[in-house]
Amino acid sequence: MKESTVTNITPSTTSKEKSSLAKFCTQLPAPKAILTVSSYSNLFATHHQPINHYYVSTLIEAFSDRSNNTSFMQLTRNHLMTLQLLNITKNVDRPLSSGRPISEPPSQNVRNTLVFDLDETLIHCNESIEVPHDVLLNITFPNGDSTKAGVNVRPHAQETLKELAEMFDLVIFTASHECYANVVIDYLDPKGTLIKGRYFRDSCFRTPEGLYIKDLRVLNRPLDKLILIDNVRFI
C-alpha cells in the first residue's frame, strides 16, 4: 500500500465531486524532484558493453521499463520515492509547527504512549465501495456533503488495541481530515475507552512539497516515552 493513499473515499455522485474528496484523506504527493533515468545516461553512454552498477542498474530498469510491474520492480520504485521524501523531511530547516500549540512542559509521570497511524496501519479504505470491505461507513464533509467509505480493518486490530490499552496510552495521529478519521476511530473504539488522544491533519506540518509531517511534540509528552507505529518512514 503506497502511503498511501487513502484517496480511497468513493463518492456516490459525479467525477468532479470525486476529485474534490481526496483532500480529506491521507495522500502521498509525487515529489517534485524525481531521480530520472537521464541522470545516469552519460555514465552508461561511455561504455560500449552493458555494465551493472549495484542498485543503480536496478533503479534504471525500474523507471525505464514501466511495463515491468513485478513486485520487485514496484518495491524498487517505492523505495526510491521513500529515499527522496526522507531527504525532503531531513532538509526541513525550521522547527515544525502545527495547528495545535505546544503548551506546558510535559509531565514525566505518564505512561509510555503508542502513537498509531490510521490509514494503511490500522485500516485500509478502498478506492471503491464495490471492493469487498469489512464495514461501510458514512462520511460527512464540512460543507454538509456525504459519501460512503468501504473500510477494511487490519486483522485483529481491535483486539490488539484492547490489549495494548492495558499497558500503554494509545493515541491516533493521522494526516487525514478529522471528518473522515473520527468516523473510522469511532468504529475501532465505539465505547471511547481505548484511544486517549486524536490528532489529525491540522496537527501536522505541511512542507512546500505537500508532505504532511507529524511533529510528535504536539502530543505534549516526553519523546522518550513515545513509540510511533506508522506505515511510512518519512512521516
pLDDT, tens digit (0-9, with 9 covering 90-100), for 204-222: 888 777 778 888 888 988 9
Q: CA–CA separation, 51 vs 43, rounded Å?
A: 10
Q: CA–CA separation, 151 vs 127, rounded Å?
A: 10
The arithmetic mean of pLDDT across residues 80-86, rounded, is 66
Most confident of 28-37, 135-144, 202-211: 135-144
The amino acid that residue 3 corresponds to is E
| Cβ-proximal residues to 115 (8 Å cutoff; 6+ apart), any chain | 171, 172, 173, 214, 216, 219, 226, 227, 228, 229, 230
Strands (E), 106-232: 113-116, 123-125, 135-140, 146-153, 169-173, 195-199, 204-206, 212-214, 226-229
What pLDDT score does 205 carry?
83
What pLDDT score does 190 carry?
97
Is residue 16 predicted with pLDDT exceeding 90? no
Number of independent structural domains in the chain:
1
Query: What are the grid coordinates assigned to 130, written together?
Result: 464495490
Closest CA to 117 of 194, 33, 205, 232: 232
Q: Which residues are bridge partners to 119 per DSSP?
A: 123
Query: What are the grid coordinates assigned to 151, written together?
Result: 473500510
Average pLDDT along the chain: 75
Q: CA–CA separation, 101 vs 177, rounded Å?
A: 18
* Containing structural domain, residue 200: 1-235
Place of cell 504527493: 29
Rg of the Cα atoms in the chain: 20
Percent of the chain with pLDDT over 70: 57
What pLDDT score does 207 carry?
78
pTM: 0.68
Side-chain half-sphere exposure of 151, counting CA atoms within 13 A? 26
Q: Which residues are bridge partners to 137 per DSSP?
A: 149
CATH number of the domain bearing residue 176: 3.40.50.1000
Is residue 15 predicted with pLDDT exceeding 60? no
Residue 147: pLDDT band (50, 70, 90) is very high
**Contact indicator for 127, 10 with CB cutoff of 8 Å:** yes
What digits encode the pLDDT tens for the residues 89-116?
666 655 554 445 444 455 567 789 999 9
**What per-residue string of b and e applies to 13-27 under the rule 16 or more CB within 10 Å gives b?**
eeeeeeeebeebbbb
Residue 166: pLDDT band (50, 70, 90) is very high
Q: CA–CA separation, 43 vs 50, rounded Å?
A: 11
The arithmetic mean of pLDDT across residues 131-144, rounded, is 94
Residues labelled as active-site residues: 117, 119
Residue 34: pLDDT band (50, 70, 90) is very low
What pLDDT score does 59 carry?
66
**Contact indicator for 114, 168 with CB cutoff of 8 Å:** yes
Is residue 30 predicted with pLDDT exceeding 90? no
The arithmetic mean of pLDDT across residues 127-135, rounded, is 91
